Structure 1
Amino acid sequence: MPFTMGPNSYGKSGVRLVRVGRESARHELRDLAVHTALSGDLDATHYTGDNTGVLPTDTQKNTVYAFARDGIGAIEAFAERLARHFVDATPSITTARVRIEEHAWTRIGDHSFTRGDGGELRTTEAVYDGRAARTASGVRDLLLLNTTDSEFHGFLADEYTTLAETRDRILATAVTATWDYQAEDPDTAFWDHAFTRARGALLAAFADTYSLSLQQTLHAVGERILKAVPEITEVRLSLPNRHHYLFDLERFGLDNPGVVFQAGDLPYGLIEGTVRREAA
């Protein structure tokens, strides 16, 4: 055969799962989006349409809901539990990848909650290959803003440069951060505690860093997370620059002492990078 299949997978994406914990009058609410991806001995379905080794994506969806019946715990543990099941119970599947995003609801009563549009997501991805599980966690769309303590100057300029240097600006971003764990026998308590420490370190670094560039802030955030959680081996960060431009009020006979800004949309600067521990 002149053509062969390269790496491939299939699964169910966007499985929306809401679970209500009713063990007491003070209910617990979990709101997840689960995505599964399976790979393995699947040549037959690609080459001839023989589906005997294919676990339907609808079955994968149903498994997510069935596994949630007895509780979810930390999303890291839930993702690994699902990944192990798909590999261990399906002979044709050698690797399972389960990705989860959790929407946070704010409690306003024993059984009442509120959540605004959009907002921060807690994320995880578990990959199991029949021998070991690898887990990465993080946050997405975490909106952060400093009204001062940010500058940007001394940059390279050429014949196309129009950007003015600034000694005081608003620094705003929507953080996507993913960190890899290397932990032995983690449980739900570990996952939740590690996430809380990592997120807290991220927030503290953003607030504490006097920023001369968003790149500097990125490194400071990654470094603070690594210091806070020894089990994390590397942090990958994506920081879009949510530009805020000082609006010109002079045409209206008004000054603007750094109080009125126009929030930019497109295009935007995108700063991405990885912060790792040095090899021993």
Structure 2
Amino acid sequence: MAIVLGENQYGKAEVRVVRVDRDDAAHRITDLNVSVALSGDMADTHLTGANDKVLATDTQKNTVFAFARDGIGDIETYGLRLARHFVESQPSIHRARISVEQYPWNRQGHHSFARSGEGTRTATITFDGEQATVDGGLTDLTVLNSTGSEFWGFPRDRYTTLEETTDRILATAVSATWRFSRAEGVDWEKAYHTARASLLDAFADTHSLSLQQTLYAMGSRVLENVPDITEVRLSLPNKHHFLADLAPFGLDNPGEVFHAADRPYGLIEGTVRRDGA
């Protein structure tokens, strides 16, 4: 039986980069977590240990910092610059994937900032020497509807204990990734903020009979409002809130006091795409 090397890649993961723009008295903060993954003609180093085609991961880290010196701008543009550099500067590298997380900060003064809880912006850029693909997105966007959500009509068997409800709290921490139809000529900043607002608006507007229904509404709203996006992948953990039993204390609980369960949790995932995409 022959043994062969399969697909492989290597890179530098989670390079933390903070850039301070000091062009005027009101400074600007860009706070990133950047991961690089490279693949190509890497068989020799796996089979013989030869490193003549291996761009050291320390070099990759230094490149991430050096490119930040010229300015970062939109993380999609920054990732495209890095991906193209690695492929075009190293003959042995045929494909580069750059993953970027951007942590938001709110201004408190000219040079004072507080970490925001509005979710983390993400981008993944892949370049193979000819074609670039760009995925935008966000993670940890925590949202809650205190009413306007139901869950009933589900199958019941000998293991079912969950009661049906026509009024419940619906809460989730949204992780969304969207694929752009092109890698050039996109207003990345506008696309991100429009997509994020679309997710929030659809979550708030949808009278939900299931979290799956809400997922589809959220993805659809993004596609309706951002023409450059072809599909949206969503992961929605159901942050369960259970009505606390106050009867042992002689108290009623008319839907006011809840236990916010940490785990286990339902996890709803799905993709919403344009027909034919």
Q: What TM-score comes out, normalization by structure 1 length?
A: 0.97
Matched, 1:48 2:45: no
Pairing 1:99-114 to 2, within 5 Å after superposition: 99-114=99-114
Query: Take 1:219 and 1:236, find their aligned partners in 2: how far apart are those partners?
Result: 10
Corresponding position of 1:79: 79
Secondary structure of the corresponding residue to residue 64 of structure 1: helix
Corresponding position of 1:59: 59
Pairing 1:201-240 to 2, within 5 Å after superposition: 201-240=198-237
Q: Displacement of 1:185 after TM fit? A: 2.4
Query: Take 2:2 and 2:25, find their aligned partners in 1: how far apart are those partners?
Result: 64
Aligned residue type for 1:112: S
Give the 3 Å change call, closer, same or farther, for CA 184–39 of structure 1 in structure 2.
closer
Query: Take 2:158 and 2:221, find their aligned partners in 1: how far apart are those partners?
Result: 38
Q: Check the 8 A contact 2:132/2:183 in 1, yes or no.
A: no
Query: Take 2:185 and 2:29, find their aligned partners in 1: how far apart are those partners?
Result: 23
Q: Deviations over 1:10-58 (max 9, x none)?
A: 0000100000000111101000000000000000000000000000000
Pairing 1:24-35 to 2, within 5 Å after superposition: 24-35=24-35
Aligned residue type for 2:276: A
Query: Take 1:96 and 1:241, find their aligned partners in 2: how far apart are those partners?
Result: 34
Q: Deviations over 1:185-212 (max 9, x none)?
A: 225xx00011111111000000000000
Q: Displacement of 1:184 after TM fit? A: 6.0
Matched, 1:13 2:13: yes
Aligned residue type for 2:215: L
Secondary structure of the corresponding residue to residue 44 of structure 2: helix
Query: Take 1:233 and 1:184, find their aligned partners in 2: how far apart are those partners?
Result: 12
Corresponding position of 2:127: 128
Q: Check the 8 A contact 2:146/2:168 in 1, yes or no.
A: yes
- Out of 244, 249, 255, the position equivalent to 1:247 is 244
Q: Deviations over 1:58-77 (max 9, x none)?
A: 00000000000010010000
Q: Deviations over 1:120-162 (max 9, x none)?
A: 2100000000001100010001100000000000111111110
CA RMSD of aligned residues (A): 1.2
Query: Take 1:219 and 1:75, find their aligned partners in 2: how far apart are those partners?
Result: 27
Aligned residue type for 1:186: G
Corresponding position of 2:262: 265
Give the 3 Å change call, closer, same or farther, for CA 129–209 of structure 1 in structure 2.
same
Aligned residue type for 2:139: R
Pairing 1:133-212 to 2, within 5 Å after superposition: 133-183=132-182, 185-186=184-185, 190-212=187-209
Query: Any unmatched runs of 5+ in structure 1?
Result: none
Equivalent residue pairs, number:
277
Query: Any unmatched runs of 5+ in structure 2?
Result: none
Corresponding position of 2:4: 4
Secondary structure of the corresponding residue to residue 65 of structure 2: helix
Q: Displacement of 1:119 after TM fit? A: 6.0
% same residue? 60
Query: Take 2:100 and 2:40, find their aligned partners in 1: how far apart are those partners?
Result: 21
Q: Deviations over 1:199-237 (max 9, x none)?
A: 110000000000000000000000000000011000000
Corresponding position of 1:69: 69
